[in-house]
Structure 1
Amino acid sequence: MTSPPTSSPGEIPLPDGFLTLDQIRNIPNSCLREKKSFVNVIGFVKDFQPPYKTGGTDFKCSIEIMDYSDRGMKVNFFEKTEQNMPPPPGAGDVVLMRGVKPQLYHGVMGLLKNSSSEFRFLASENIPQKVLGESNSPWRSYPVGKGRSPTAAEMKYVLWASNHADVIDLPSNQQFGVKVVQAMKQNTDKFSLLKDIKPDRYYNILGQVVRLYDSSGTLQVYLSDYTPNSRFHNYAWGEAGKNDVGREGDDFGYISTRNKEAKEWPGPYGKMTIQLTLWDSHASFAREEVKVDDWVLLKNVHVKFGKIGGVLEGFMHGDNGKTNVSIMNLTEGTVEDHGRLKEATNRKLQWWKRFTEQKPKYLEEAAGLGNKRKDDGEGSSKSNSKKRREEERAARLKRGAAAEAKKMGRLNLNENIRCNNPDQPIVALSEILKPLALTRNEEGQQTPSSFTCAKYRANVRVVDFFPHKVEDFAVGRRPSEYDILSDYSGGEDTDREEDIRVFKSGRGFAKNIWEWRFVLQVEDASSKESKERLWLMVDNHAAQGLLNLEDDATNLRRDPRLLSLVREQLFKLWGDLEELNSERLRQQSERGKELPPSSLGSEFPPSSPPRKAGEMPDADSDVENEPSQPKSAKKSSNSAVLTEQDLNISKSGIVAGSADKSTPSLEVKNKAFTCCIHQYGVKVDEDDPSKANAGDGKRWQRVFGLFGTHIV
């Protein structure tokens, strides 16, 4: 590690081995994970949180310190008894720390006292005017009697810093005292076991995910910490989950679990599980990262009675872009959280141990009770009614499965592809492409809507894809502090600016965030007469479900293992399509076709403004290849096209049918399959004010996307 700079130019430097708070914040994550990553710090007390009892077995207090950095930093102390805590400091007191542990928790850097840490406190009113000997220095040690005394160099820096403390944002003694009193009146730690929660309050809770269910823009998380609460729903052994949420995963099949018994509640049984409803950033994080059986910590959960009277539920609405959901493990988080996780895991072990031991007894009691009711003739009507419903449901499922199998046999559908919502009808692409009539003008002519939010099932086969190299099916982008803004899209210029800003901060270059992103052109396979085609966007979420791989997106050009797995999965989807496309491109190359230049606008006609990289023309456009075709290009009405810039091939080859007539036709040989399609709208730039129907300089564009489809 490089030697620390001076606190300000021309002033006394920090003693050897000490760091500023800003330097601590810039320590790489790889160094933070090292067990022996300790730091030495000198700072002034800005705030103090008195000791309080945590939800576990420890007491906690914290001291916020300041130096000449922009922001302060908290030092956390955990002890078994309150008597072992450090003495209460005052505003502006000097703290000299050796061997404290830097810790990044929920994105905030802090310091943690450990068994090897040494602290020296010097009250602000006792700071001497000149360097004195140890016998005349009124330092207080913590732990008592432990540690080395400040050296002459350290004392010299302390004296200089105290004489210039007026430039540091420190509170007055009165302000400091008021904040300490307020902290003593309230327990800032909202953590609670589920057995202790009460309605109309906010809590931090830690538990294991039992079920996940995605619905209508929210995410339901069923959580248990293996403590009972009489106001929870009673999940009986062998029954389905509440409100029939016992089914696995979500409507679209993106969230799947290891438990394949889709209906039975997996346990724990009884009143030990709470239903939590998540919105916004909390739901987004949980959808992408959280799986069944994960231990998670959720902060600021609003507990109140749900729609079912007398049953407590939890709710987490948006919180200014913050994500109050974190996955727990013993390598991250605080010592306090580690203790809570271990206690909860032990409760789970003991609960399942007791359940396994008592399970035979439960079975015997259930069998005896059933025989008694049968002998007494009680409940026979109810039992028969339930049995009839089960038989009718089984018959419907059997008829549906038979019809689906018959249809698959007739169309020779691909058995390696699975699609959600099998009870929904198959819709032809010609119907999907028909715009919905919105209004009528004075002449009685219908005005079509720009797009319709709708979902369909269709039988299709893949006839083309983009980008034309599978290596480019994952794209990288720079992370940005503005990613939380819904209308922020960034770009190449902002990426370069972000690179420079991050590099100047001393953190090197920013790493890419990789996501799946590609499009598939599909052809209607359910009709012999119509062969309509459309392009389907496959975003990161849909691609993760489609490819059905455990790996997340990454740079496929540098990960041959993942690239091979992706190719294997896609071969099941489109057969020899990739080989045929490669052959077509080879034939074009042999015929002297040149790759396009990297300029995005060089091949566009003067009447067509250049499009931005990755921008899509209207899905309703009649022009086969809108950016590169002149005005006289022949139009076709039977293809909805999504065109993008591809520097790997000629632009004229992006859309099937637009390639050179002299290129031999290569017939695709792959099986059709059933997929789920959703239609939606996106805002795109529009220079023509008469077409700007989505605001100033914007118009709505219809887009089709793939969802709920999986390669097995």
Structure 2
Amino acid sequence: MSLSTGFLPEPAKHPPAGFSRLCNVIDAAASPPATSVPVSFLGMVTRLSVPVREANGDFALEFTVQDQFDSPGSESSICCKVSRNELNKLPTIRAVGDFVLIYNFNVIAGQPPTAVSTRAEPGSRVLSFSRSTIPQPEFSQSIQGAGSKLPYVTLDAGPHPTTEQQMAIVYMKQAAASFVPPKSTRPNMPTTQKKQKLCELKDMELSKYYDLIGEVVKTFAANYETFDLYVTDYTTNNDLFLYEERDDTDDFMFGAQKKWPGPFGRMTMAIRLYEPHASFARNNVREGDFVYLQNIHSKLSQVGNLEGAIHQDRKYLDRVNIRICTHPDQIASIKERKEAYEQPAFGSTVNQNQPKKASAKAAAKKKEEKRERQRLQKELEQQELEKKAEELDAAKAGLNPHIRAGNTDKRISNITEIVHNPHLTTETEIGNLSLPFVNCKYRARVRVVDMWPRKLFDFARSLSDPKYGKQGLSADHRESYRKEVFQWNFALLVENADAPAGKTPDRLMLTVGDEQGQCLLKMDACDLRQSPEKRKRLEEKLFILWGNLRERKIALLKEGIHLPLPTGDSRLQLQNKPFDCCIEEFGEPVGKNLGNPKSWVRRHTLFNTTIMD
């Protein structure tokens, strides 16, 4: 089996409707007479400057966008400049390497030209997409078919990007996969203006609005609508909650409850985020990140301590008031205070804390070993709890708990969606083009309703067998296999787990090659005719997968009845459970002229799916 991308469309080379290639934008700006017509474009951010204060009092942010990566040059990138009257109204671009959709910027002719947006141009917008949240094309089916949205950040009002625009971002990331952008600085937040609300925790008071730069020490997803950040800047405010350090004896009292990571004392503020801030933080902020939080409303918690909240902006509904800080100047003072906090208390030394007598050293070592045993025991208990939770979820859905599939964050596709993938037809300049296959990966919930070959010992084939290896091995190569080498080679016919009885639904043939078979069975292929023990082991494994399917197929063949039968046919008396699996679609060449779609056959195979012992 071979994978191919030869017949994938190339959306990265064709911008969405209403958008322009940068080479065309630059050519238009250089061609006399140059006209100032708003243009829209997309690309990757290759340079990101620090926001500056201009002479007229406005704040300006400059960044460079590029949309060609095979032969990049000045004709494939353009400098963009955004000016606003307030710092927090500038676009939120997290880092170099992220991708942007630019709407209605004016291009100023020059050497080189510049795309600009001022506060006098309300129609211009910048949508920023974090590189880490953009999927590979083969995992973008939910965006294309189910109406899901790529996570993005914008401070400007306007409609969501279209599916075509989102897919252009997906393919642009794929096109830029091997491109390494130059190093650049990150935005730094000016703090010299008196009107700035930037404040340290120690100076915060009740019922006011503040900006804060701090380290995220803990995150908590209370529900789908909010997200909690626990942020510290290592300053003390007596109105904050008191986090006290517990010793090992507390673990016995409180069980396996996760310890507070620190800092201890009144140095951390709990901040509840509402949409759209919650979605951004859930997807982009991790424990240990330094963040710049804007417009925090300080208030009292239920237990009377100072806490914060960031609500949705009433005027700019999509504005996100969170930025990731990486510039040294932004976080230098916080790191200094953190280092001071982590230093040993005054007057204490390492030697003072070390046991002086041999008996004390032995007792300390024994205590440390006990702690390690307790830690390992807790890890094992946690793993067991997670395993039971997975089994419980599978049991609730009626799934086979002994079959595990990866990519659990991907949505379930049904067989009809896979068989009739709308992307098998694509639009070109000369009309619609039917593709022989698309390179896609899916996650599906299926049941096995037939299998090939009928005899188990034919599930593994020898490379020296000309009926099996003739396409992949020449006669000379087959002769060189003095010691026979076997590979898994069988097929499963599957249908949707919830297929209605009495009908013949869409079904999918899944071929299983050697690598896929090793993953599925956790067994190496061998001569099953000469290995009755392994053949027995294989039979037990496959019984977990398809239940009594093989026994019923043999019995029905004796009656002259051939599978597959309609779903729920009483003659089959099938007893097996559905399971989740990962499916990969690819093209297999069957002709010499690979430029001809008829020279390819559409195939599907299992991957990342395992029968557990």
Q: TM-score w.r.t. structure 2 length?
A: 0.34
- Work out which of the two has the higher radius of gyration on C-alpha atoms and give 1 or 2: 1
Greater relative CO, 1 or 2 (CA 8 Å, sep 6+): 2
